[in-house]
């Protein structure tokens, strides 16, 4: 964490899925006065169970469309 004038800057690395939840939480914590910047750093491999949770619902949707 670092201070700049009357601001506090926090630099962290987080998964994109977590960052998507951050804006509403930040608005709530700061009375809609906070802001953030997102910058892509790298891709990382995910575990097999997480891959299954991500892809599984999409496979079901694709199969349902093919059946109709």
**pLDDT, position 1:** 62
Q: Read off the pLDDT of residues 36-57 as tens digits, 9 standing for 90 and up.
A: 888 989 998 888 998 888 888 8
Distance CA 41, CA 22 (A): 17
**Is residue 35 over pLDDT 70?**
yes
pLDDT (mean) for 28-38 = 87
**Is residue 60 over pLDDT 80?**
no
Q: How confident is the model at residue 64 (pLDDT cuts 50, 70, 90)?
A: low
Q: How confident is the model at residue 68 (pLDDT cuts 50, 70, 90)?
A: low
CA distances from 36 to 11, 16, 40, 55 (A): 10, 13, 13, 29
Asked whether the beta carbons of 9 and 1 are under 8 A apart, the reply is: yes
């Amino acid at each position: 964490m670092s201070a700049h004038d009357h601001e506090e800057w926090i630099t962290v690395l987080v998964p994109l899925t977590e960052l998507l939840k951050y804006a509403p939480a930040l608005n709530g914590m700061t009375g809609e006065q906070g802001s953030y910047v997102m910058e892509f750093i790298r891709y990382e491999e995910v575990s097999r169970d997480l891959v299954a949770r991500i892809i599984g619902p999409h496979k079901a949707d694709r199969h349902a469309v093919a059946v109709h």
